[in-house]
Amino acid sequence: MLIARGVSVELYETLLAIFRLGAVAMFPEPAAGLKGLRISVEAAQPKAIVTAGIGYVLRLAFPELRRLRLLQDFDDDAVYDEPLMHLPGDAPALITFTSGSTGRPKGIVRSADFLMLQHTLLENLRQTKPGDIDLISLPVFILSNLAAGATSVIPAGKLTRPAQLDGAELRAQIARHNVNRIVAPPAVVARIAEGASAMPQIEAVFTGGGPVFPNLLREVAKAAPNAAVHGVYGSTEAEPISHLELRDISDEDWLTMAEGGGLLAGRPISEIEVCLRDHEVHVAGPHVNRCYLNPADDGSTKLIRNGKLWHRTGDAARMDEQGRLWLLGRSDAARDGLFPFAVETAALSWPGVRQAGLLAGRLALAGDNLNLADMGARAKALGDIEVVLLKNVPMDKRHNSKVDYARLRKLLA
């Protein structure tokens, strides 16, 4: 069943009802737009649709959606006698799609067993306790909270445009609902922390879904002085891969990041195997997606080595002597020994820099009162880099946390 509606209480009522019926829930990738919606419908061939609001209009506009049976919202006051289906743990339960930031969106099928394993591994990091109230803008974590019996507060605003959320309104929600933990991508965490007075009630902040740069970690530490701040590295196909807590970053680590040594992402979790081949991160383990919905998509990222299935993340990294990952950016974006994250992480430590994006030897910077000569001199210390000042560096549509290199290329052209 295709679910085409925004993040809301009703969304999760619908999702749990679909699971109860033993059906498979399917979500298109919102960041991929209408094209991504049509691609996902073609790939998964759903039989029915549950939607709301503008979804009714879209359903009438596209033939592939009109053919789907329209299921009505569930009535909160009604009593239903549909049987509770008992399916094997390896039966498909959820189909989602990658953001398609590096190509066409790919479908990923998760079974109930896979979802429970992912929940268990995330809980190993989050350590949810009775009474926790989380502000969550990452939908899969709300599902995990339902399994843990914890309370979730959905941020006010349009979650598909995280950079446009109102930080003051989010902080008011946090105070109003006695939120003590935040689980959100970097862009949302930045909106909460920006200009915030201290929020001593926050005990933990978990952020991921995009690079967690040092400047954000420092902002969060000021806004939530009593919080344990966690950065989680993973991908749609393998979540989580590694974990880093702010208090474990040493003075030497801060200096290394400022000097172009990469973005520290912490140690891989014990349940995953990580190897680096030509700088690219390859992962294997029980919570690593084994194949895509369309087998034709497997060729570019799945490989068998010594009888074991490995997933190629496309991310470049290095491993230090402590066994920690230092992310360097997309493996196909390096040029003349310069990796995007290495340069961008360093640039974000420079005074006034708010955004940074490296592409083909050109470093795009956005910020306050930036001096081109000063920025150029700092960049030259890292390599043969030309600095370009922009009003804004384009970011990805999904989480607004990664540079959109395709759009940046057009701007620089």
pLDDT digits (tens, 9 = 90+) for 306-357: 999 999 999 999 999 999 999 999 877 788 889 999 999 999 999 999 999 9
Confidence at 393, pLDDT banded by 50, 70, 90:
very high
Which tens digits make up the pLDDT trace of 164-209?
A: 899 999 999 999 999 999 999 999 999 999 887 889 999 999 999 8
Question: Which residues of the chain form CATH 3.40.50.980?
Answer: 1-112, 127-226
Q: Does domain 127-226 have CATH number 3.40.50.980?
A: yes
Angle between helices 340-347 and 251-258 (to 10 degrees): 110
Question: Which H helix or E strand runs over 65?
Answer: helix 63-66
The answer to whether residues 25 and 94 touch, using CB atoms and an 8 Å cutoff, is yes
The answer to whether residues 166 and 194 touch, using CB atoms and an 8 Å cutoff, is no
Fold of 1-112: Rossmann fold (3.40.50)
Is the pLDDT at 299 greater than 80, yes or no?
yes
Instruction: Report how far residue 322's alpha carbon sits from residue 245's, in angstroms, rounded to the nearest whole number.
Output: 15
Is the pLDDT at 101 greater than 60, yes or no?
no
Instruction: Report how far residue 34's alpha carbon sits from residue 349's, in angstroms, rounded to the nearest whole number.
Output: 38
Instruction: Report how far residue 367's alpha carbon sits from residue 378's, in angstroms, rounded to the nearest whole number.
Output: 15
Instruction: Report how far residue 229's alpha carbon sits from residue 218's, in angstroms, rounded to the nearest whole number.
Output: 10
Segment 366-381 mean pLDDT: 96
Sign of the CA dihedral running 388, 389, 392, 398: positive
pLDDT of 197 reads 85
Which tens digits make up the pLDDT trace of 37-63?
A: 888 898 899 999 998 888 888 888 888
Angle between helices 9-20 and 139-148 (to 10 degrees): 60
